[in-house]
Each structure stands twice: as C-alpha cells, then as structure tokens.
Amino acid sequence: MPEEESAQFSIESVQVLSEDESVDEELVPSLSDEQLLELYEQMKRSRRLDERAVSLQRRGELGTYAPAIGQEAAQVGSAFAMAEDDWIVPSFREQPALLTRGTPPHKILQYAMGMEEGAEIPSGKGALPPAIPVGSQPLHAVGVGWGEALQDRSNVAVTYFGDGATSEGDVYEALNLAGVYDAQTVFVCQNNRYAISTRLEKQTDAETLAQKAIAAGIEGIQVDGNDVLAVYRVVQDAIESARNGDPVMVEALTYRRSMHTTSDDPSVYRESEEEAEWEARDPIVRFQVYLENRGILDEETKATIENRVESEIGEAIDRAKAGREEIDQADMFEHVYDEMPPELERQFEAFGGEADE
C-alpha cells in the first residue's frame, strides 16, 4: 500500500489439434493407437446414439431428450482420463461421458423413456445418476471428493455442467467448498455457448468461465473443448492435481450443435450461419482427419467401427423397449424409503399393490 497490486491471476488456454489440423506435437498426450481409436469410437457411438434418440423421440418412443451433438470431444476426452474407480457426477446431457465410463446405451435410452431403471447405479459407486436441476450436482461431486479424501482413498470425482449452470449459486459454493475441503474433485464446465436460448453473454460479464475458479482460490483453465486430445491432456492433469487435494475447474470451449432438447427449436434464437461455422469445427471430424493423417484410421477401420456402433445401438434400442414392456407401475412405492412406512403402505394397497413381505 498505499495503492498497490495485492494479487494477480491469469487463465491459460490449451489446444493440441488446431482447426486447420496443425498439431502441437509437444502437447500430444501419450496414448496408444488403440486408445486413440477408442476415443474416436466413443465419440462416434455417442453421436449415433444421440441421432437415433432424436428420431425415436420424434416417433414418440422417447420423452424429452438432450443431445450432446458437438460436445463429444469435451466429454469423451475428459471421461477417458478418469481411472477405474473415479466417480462421474453428470448433469443431464452426459451421454458421451457416460458411454465412455461404461454405461450401457440401453440404460441411457430407458432414462429417456421416463424409466428410473435408466438411472440405477448397480454397483452403488463410481457414479451418481443424471439429475435435472441445473448447477446442483457439483456440490455432490465435492461431497464425493471430500468423502474419498476423508476415507483415505485416492479416487476423484469428475462433475459436468454447462455455461448456464455457472450462474447458479450452487456452482460457486461447490468451487469454493472444494478449495476449503481440498476435495478430490474436477469440475468440467462445458461452455457450449447456450443455456437453452440464452447466450453466454447474457449469463455473465466474465470474459472466461474458467475465471470463476479464481473466486474460489482454485485453479481454473480453458481448453478447446472440440479438441479431444487437448481435453484429455488438460483433464488428466486436473485429475492428477485433484487426487492430491487440489481441485481444478476446466472450461471446455465447445458448442451445442443441435437443439437444447427435443422440445426446443434453436432457429427461434440463433442464426444458421453460426451453426454452420461450428459444423466446420466439429470435434469428430477434426479428430478423424488427425487419425487419418497419422495413418491410424483407414476406410476399413472406419466402416468396422460404424457397423459395430450401429448394431450396438440397434440392440440397445430393442433392449430398452423390451425393458419398457416389463415395468411395474407399483415400483414407484418401493424405493422411497428403505422400509415402506405404514401410511405409504396403505396408499400402496389402495393403489392395488401388494407388499413384498
């Protein structure tokens, strides 16, 4: 003092594969050809699932569905960086990440069929279910990352949310508490430029979303979210840091190429030129060209992958539909409490259900 700078901050931004397909070789993560192909295949699988799901919805087979088209690199790259026992804490558009973590596609479809079956966590760990309230899930991820630390385990929680979610107080509380509790938590903010119809400029005056982390005193970093290698690299580092008790927020710069959900019509609030621009930056295409240039991906492999994805998703659709035929309406009474309380039992009986015991 009298007038001095008391603190300084900066936000870094990382890209490995640029849009013109030039590559920063120093930053390329060390992944085997198989792993690179797996990244590619997961992105393709997710894209195809979303496409099929949207048309199923149009035919009345699914309820409201939120496609992640355009965000595959941000999600697959980050989820791929997780270790086996790490936790994923999604919001509601995380098909690519969930598939990468091993959720079978028929479960994702069942969720979209309005079946709680699709949100089961059979092992009871490693994941929390999709949940709809925007911005509310990062706090759970902090709890998980804190709980793992308290129990001397090294697993981290990776949570996903959008640009819009950063306006919710909960997200800020989560970042701040993560810092205080040294929670083993990584925050992946997918800045896809829109919260339904609302452009990022209307959510905040902040020039980056990564700088939200500064308020919490934790690290914030930007990454090109359409560059799967950059995402993988940055999130891998973030996970390593979080494993040591230093939580990180990653802002993945991407774009929601499709509708917000199947109830939405983006033409009401944005220009098709903008969509075309981002089509040109599509994360799958960019990575595909990279793999082709590196000689990892040829037409045959591509066809094999496409066929595999196609048949898997076809089977998943059949399986999801078959599961739907079997649902028991009375199930809604079963999972509210560990033991059904008497008042609920009476309602259950009036409903026509029969108690298990």
Ligand X SMILES: Cc1ncc(C[n+]2csc(CCOP(=O)(O)OP(=O)(O)O)c2C)c(N)n1
Residue 194 touching ligand X (CB under 6 A):
yes
**Should residue 84 be labelled a site residue for a second copy when binding is judged by CB under 8 A?**
no
Torsion angles phi and psi, residue 292, rounded to 5: -65, -45
The entry of other proteins, ligand X, Mg ion, none near residue 93 (CB within 5 to 8 angstroms by kind) is: ligand X
Return the residue of 31, 37, 131, 196 that touches ligand X, per CB under 6 A: 196
Catalytic status, residue 243: no
CB of 173 to a second copy, least distance (A): 5
Under 8 Å between Cβ of 247 and 217: no
Bridge partners (DSSP) of residue 191 are 253
The answer to whether 14 and 210 have CB atoms below 8 angstroms apart is no
Residue nearest to Mg ion (CB): 162
Number of residues located near a second copy, criterion CB under 8 A: 48
First to last CA, the chain: 73
Cβ–Cβ contacts within 10 Å for residue 127, how many?
A: 24
Q: Which does 132 bind (CB under 5 to 8 A by kind): a second copy, Mg ion, ligand X, none?
A: ligand X
Of 93, 233, 260, 286, the active-site residue reads: 260
Q: How far is the CB of 345 from other proteins (least distance, A)?
A: 10
Question: Burial letters for 88-119: b for 16+ Cβ neighbours within 10 Å, e otherwise?
Answer: bbbbbbbbbbbbbbebbbbbbbbbbbebebbb
Write down the least CB distance from residue 161 to ligand X, Å. Answer: 6
Residue 104: asked if its preceding bond is cis (omega within 30°), the reply is no
Q: Are 243 and 186 in contact (CB under 8 A)?
A: no
The answer to whether 269 is a known catalytic residue is yes
160 is catalytic: no
Q: Which residue's CB is nearer to a second copy, number 17 or number 79?
A: 17
Alpha-helical (H) ranges within 26-168 are: 33-58, 72-80, 95-100, 105-112, 138-150
- Binding test (CB under 8 A) with a second copy, winner from 168, 312, 334, 345: 168
From 162, 225, 247, 353, residue interacting with Mg ion (rule: CB under 5 A): 162
Cα–Cα distance between 344 and 139 in angstroms, integer?
Answer: 31
- The reply to whether 192 sits near Mg ion by the rule CB under 5 A is yes
CA angle 135, 123, 35 (to 5 degrees): 80
343 binds, among Mg ion, other proteins, a second copy, none (CB under 5 to 8 A by kind): other proteins
203 binds Mg ion (CB under 5 A): no
The maximal CA–CA distance of the chain, rounded, in angstroms, is 77
In the window 187-246, what residues touch a second copy (CB under 8 A)? 202-208, 210-218, 222, 224
Query: 117 to each of 29, 34, 122, 128, 323, how far by Cα in Å?
Result: 37, 32, 10, 13, 9
Which of 256, 283, 284, 317 is close enough to bind ligand X by CB under 6 A?
Answer: 256
Q: From residue 11 to residue 50, what is the string marking binding to a second copy with x (rule CB under 8 A)?
A: xxxxxx-x-----x--x-----------------------
Catalytic residues: 256, 260, 269
Q: Which residues are near ligand X by CB under 6 A?
A: 93, 132-134, 161-165, 192, 194-196, 256, 260
Q: Which residues are near a second copy by CB under 8 A?
A: 1-16, 18, 24, 27, 167-173, 176-177, 179-180, 202-208, 210-218, 222, 224
